[in-house]
Amino acid sequence: MNYRHAFHAGNFADVMKHLALVAILTHLKKKPAPFVVIDTHAGRGLYDLMSDEALRSGEATGGIERVRGLGDGPEALRLYLDVVRSCGEARYPGSPLIAAKLLRPEDRLVAIEKHPDDARALKIALAPFRRAHVVEADGYARLPAHLPPPERRGLILIDPPYETPDEFAAAARAVAGILRRFATGVVLVWFPIKSAAAANAFCSEVLQYGPRKLLRVDLDTGAGGKRMASAGLLVANPPFGFDADMRAALDAVAPGLGHNGPARPRLDWLAGPQ
């Protein structure tokens, strides 16, 4: 599948992924020690929801536009919506910009993007943030050079476009490399669910690399047709309490993200706490 993000910014999968990102960062900030966020496929950082690409797909109307107006809710949801609203009604922040807005002065962001045009746009989006560093490179190839980080705490976000047939295998190998070099790091991997068999095989492959804790999070919108209706996250070494926070956040947005009824979130421990 081709997942050029300008067409999909702010869709239901972004809402799910970015709620997880915010929840993890919130937990990491509870300890005073600094940490790093490494985004291997960072994208442009900020997306125009009135662009030709976004309007052609219309996916934001089934995602962020359905939950933007929510009021009180779980902490992760409130923080996420605060960041989104700070970018303006016609803009949507990508993962690196969300992270940059939430990090403390002592924390650090490494945003890796291989496409030159997107890397240039990302540098502009992250220019106000002194501790954010943009690297124009292939995320998988450059990642080992940043591990283990000097902070010895952090989050690695793997959010590839899934444009090539071997992307699942590449993502699984990346997780294996992270666990070898940075065994205590939190790893967040987004993946589309176009085929249940392919998604299950990917999760099983990652499980074989031996993470002590591995949580799978799925969200099924119930949408039919050719459009992606389900997406998933794998979280290795999630912070204590992340699963409860993520379930609360997804339960809060599920009524708005579903088709013919609420979206259906599911959380499964593949390794570790039950």
The pLDDT of residue 52 is 84
Closest by Cα among 182, 24, 202 to 99: 24
Q: Around Cβ 233, how many Cβ atoms within 10 Å? A: 23
- Active-site position among 107, 159, 218, 245: 159
Q: What single DSSP character describes residue 239?
A: P
Yes or no: say if 140 and 170 are a contact pair by the CB < 8 Å rule: yes
Q: Which tens digits make up the pLDDT trace of 84-121?
A: 999 998 999 999 999 999 999 999 999 999 999 999 99
The pLDDT of residue 3 is 45
Rounded distance between C-alpha atoms, residue 67 and residue 255, angstroms: 9
Rounded distance between C-alpha atoms, residue 37 and residue 149, angstroms: 10
| Phi–psi pair at 98, nearest 5 degrees | -60, -45
The pLDDT of residue 263 is 97
Q: Which tens digits make up the pLDDT trace of 27-42?
A: 999 999 999 999 999 9
Characterize the bridge pairing of strands 154-158 and 132-136: unpaired
Q: Mean pLDDT over all residues of the chain?
A: 94
Instruction: Annotate 199-235 with DSSP letters as a single string.
Output: HHHHHHHHHHT--S-EEEEEEE----SSS--EEEEEE
Q: Is the pLDDT of residue 76 over 70?
A: yes
The pLDDT of residue 1 is 38
Q: Is the pLDDT of residue 203 over 70?
A: yes
Q: Is the pLDDT of residue 4 over 70?
A: no
Yes or no: say if 160 and 1 are a contact pair by the CB < 8 Å rule: no
The pLDDT of residue 66 is 95
Closest by Cα among 160, 176, 33 to 108: 33
Its pTM stands at 0.96
| Phi–psi pair at 131, nearest 5 degrees | -95, 15
Yes or no: say if 41 and 121 are a contact pair by the CB < 8 Å rule: no
The pLDDT of residue 56 is 83
What's the token pair of residue 189? 């991997």
Yes or no: say if 241 and 186 are a contact pair by the CB < 8 Å rule: no
Question: Which residues touch 204 (CB under 8 Å, ≥6 apart)?
Answer: none
- More confident call, 11 vs 55: 11
The pLDDT of residue 226 is 58
Residue 159 among the catalytic residues: yes
Prior bond of 93 cis (ω within 30°): no
Question: Which residues touch 101 (CB under 8 Å, ≥6 apart)?
Answer: 83, 86, 93, 129
Q: Which tens digits make up the pLDDT trace of 119-176?
A: 999 999 999 999 999 999 999 999 999 999 999 999 999 999 888 889 999 999 999 9
The pLDDT of residue 55 is 81
Q: Is the dihedral of CA 267, 271, 273, 274 positive or negative?
A: positive
Residues, the chain: 274
In the chain, the amino acid numbered 240 is: F
Q: Is the pLDDT of residue 224 over 80?
A: no
What's the token pair of residue 6? 């300008």
Q: 97: helix, coil or strand? A: helix
What's the token pair of residue 197? 């068999």
The pLDDT of residue 7 is 75
